Structure 1
């Protein structure tokens, strides 16, 4: 298997051959130049199957099809809806850009051999454009179930620490979260990339930043190590169009670490996960309610433990990669290929 991503060197990790693309400064270069390089590298590999997931690589997928290759488009998000909330696109252009993206997706689906989506909602949308569509949830690996290890690291003196892992943006509730810990003795651990770049300086000016320990972008092992020190995992996405039908991986990663969760009161999340009794849902736009939810949970260690165990049990029994892996392998087999495939990806 070959993986084409932005990386600092060519190497093989766990049997996966990484073909590095350069890191481009600036969105325009990334969108215009990186797909060209990805196409050249991909074509040289002469693989049986090409599996890509970045929308800007749509032209690459179409070109590969024109060269007679089998191509799968992996859809993580509702891109047209996502564009409507992009801060770097002028508001008066967002609808037009969204419609163009929708048209390109629809056109591309006429070519692709299959579509893999991240949620049932996106699957139902793409089934109208390509009948060979399946949803594959990106649940944690069984080897990443670290709940027992995390439990073993708990101390007699409980530190009040909450944790957020993933992309850090205003749309994902970072401002409200920092405001929620302001003036308290609660520590906030952050791991991930802050975007846009000027947001970091803005956040550092907030009084609540003194409660923050920012680790930057970390690998998965480091992420779980950070999470093992926290009592609660948080995921406070704003209820904007692109978030209403998404299903963040971090929810299941928190569960895998046996951590109780405070999450946005998004109807789709509540419908799917509300009965697990592992998540406290709050208004993600209200710092006071977020603070109250954190303090209520962190002061009740018995409830914290119970919710954490409920989440861990759910991941062990349902929300793990084992069943999804079989679905993906069967999907590859249905296309007549399996052993020689690549994924074209921008990476994390």
Structure 2
């Protein structure tokens, strides 16, 4: 049954190997027996894996991509005549609306709180940003009336009560969850994910000065102009700031290889205080935990509650140098407790904060949409 259902995942904004899209959702549906294809801008150096690509051209200009990329995506998608169209970008909302027919399904996968995020961006002055956010919400409301909604964060249900939470928990990998870590001589902090100012780029840049001989490694795409600003901010400690992704995308395998290394003192997420991240449970939290690392993060109330629940990290004011220094020294001077924090986090991920549970929910949603009953033979 599932093999006869054509599924097209669509993105013009994300990297084709985005972990949530490719390695989790597309791979899980393919494993379940669905006929899955990913429509995305695909660089020539990326080879197809188990999930085939429907490649789109990549535009250097963000605005050209929004206009021409979206139009191309619509015509390519329409030709596929899929049973399920699964869109991952707000730019594709009009495309999803046009693709929706009586005999198919369209899913909008909400990765971010876009309404709040637009207001936070610095591209325009605040009144313009608020107006754009207002227009976005109106367009989203109209376009999604006949769509299924998938939510990457639990708190999004406050805005989308009919959405289904398919949380962005990590894949369980024995090579990471099985690492026996030692914190006796740990001298490095780890950050993974895109590097931007609202994700703490400048706060992380000053971390090397929090303790003697402390190295900070950031694995993720970092614009070259921001990298230069971070090095300037680090000042005399710039040599201890290591940017793996300056001007280029860092693939998942390289990030996994970083997690597998020893010598990490903690995984960090010192984000400046903004409404956009106030309630989010960051994907990197779960990845740090899965790898057996303590978490050093900002003291947002929701983040502090999370750390207190799982006793897996330390929260600090991201603008308070003394608090940060004390937290780093606490971890350095108490390697046994640092290891215990990491093990408590790892245990929570192994037991319930992992992709396996979300995979079951995703497959169940697809089965319901396509009239496939629980336990029904999928003809594989």
Are 1:55 and 2:82 counterparts? no
Match of 2:135 in 1: 100
Alignment of 1:21-170 (within 5 A): 21-66=56-101, 69-112=104-147, 114-127=148-161, 131=162, 133-143=163-173, 146-149=176-179, 151=180, 154=182, 158-170=185-197
Alignment of 1:336-347 (within 5 A): 336=370
Match of 1:12 in 2: 48
Structure 2 unaligned regions, length at least 5: 1-35, 373-380
Match of 2:21 in 1: none
- Closer, same or farther in 2 for the Cα pair 1:23/1:144, shift >3 Å? farther
Are 1:238 and 2:272 counterparts? yes
**C-alpha distance in structure 1 between counterparts of 2:265 and 2:346, whole Å:** 14
1:11 Cα deviation after fit: 4.4
**Structure 1 stretches of 4+ moved >4 Å:** none
What SS does the aligned partner of 2:100 have? helix
The alignment covers a number of residue pairs equal to 328
Match of 1:202 in 2: 229
What SS does the aligned partner of 1:2 have? strand
Structure 1 unaligned regions, length at least 5: 339-348
**C-alpha distance in structure 2 between counterparts of 1:240 and 1:122, whole Å:** 16
Are the counterparts in 1 of residues 153 and 168 from structure 2 also a CA contact under 8 Å? no
- Closer, same or farther in 2 for the Cα pair 1:66/1:193, shift >3 Å? same
Higher relative contact order (CA 8 A, sep 6+): 1
TM-score by length of 1: 0.88
- Which range is displaced more, 259-268 or 328-337? 328-337
- Closer, same or farther in 2 for the Cα pair 1:290/1:65, shift >3 Å? same
Match of 2:15 in 1: none
**C-alpha distance in structure 1 between counterparts of 2:358 and 2:121, whole Å:** 31
1:91 Cα deviation after fit: 2.7
Are the counterparts in 2 of residues 145 and 256 from structure 1 also a CA contact under 8 Å? no
1:287 Cα deviation after fit: 3.3
**C-alpha distance in structure 2 between counterparts of 1:58 and 1:102, whole Å:** 11
TM-score by length of 2: 0.81
1:145 Cα deviation after fit: 6.2
